[in-house]
Amino acid sequence: MFIKAMEEKEIAPGGMKAVSLNGRSIVLCNHGGTFYAVERACGHARAALERGALTGWILTCPLHYAQFDIRSGEALSGPAPKSPESGHPDPASPALATAGLKTWPVRLEAGAVLVDMQ
């Protein structure tokens, strides 16, 4: 069942916004007027993905820079490797695999963004 998430005008093209629907935290992404809904928590260590960067269909995590395709949720790359110059512990633990993101169908209706949360 499609549920109204927000007004279309709330996210400019290239933008993202986190919302909560049916108890799930999701991020809505506007790619040139087409909207996509993906899970909010990064598939690596659960960073909030709306704080990342959206370039075309690629969503980059703000924490360790894993990348996801917002159309499918597929994890395109894992966290960035530790800099050899860094003396700090590696925050992007290789022990943590990077899972893909759940996605939901989205449609627009009378200026509203609707998400199918089934």
| CA atoms of 33 and 11, how far apart (whole Å) | 9
Any residues with CB less than 8 A from the CB of 66 and at least 6 apart, and which? 42, 43, 44, 60, 75, 77, 78, 79, 98
- d(CA 57, CA 24) in angstroms, rounded, equals 22
61 is a site residue for ligand FES (CB under 6 A): yes
Task: In whole angstroms, give the CA distance from residue 113 to residue 110.
Answer: 9
With CB under 6 A as the contact rule, which of the stretches 2-10, 22-30, 44-52, 104-112 interacts with ligand FES? 44-52
Decide whether 11 or 42 has the Cβ nearer to ligand FES.
Answer: 42
Interactions with ligand FES, residue window 13-32 (CB under 6 A): none
Query: Binding to ligand FES by residue 73, rule CB under 6 A?
Result: no
Does residue 75 bind ligand FES (CB under 6 A)? no
Interface with ligand FES, residue 45, by CB under 6 A: yes
Which residues contribute to the site for ligand FES (CB under 6 A)?
42, 44-45, 47, 61, 63-66, 79, 92
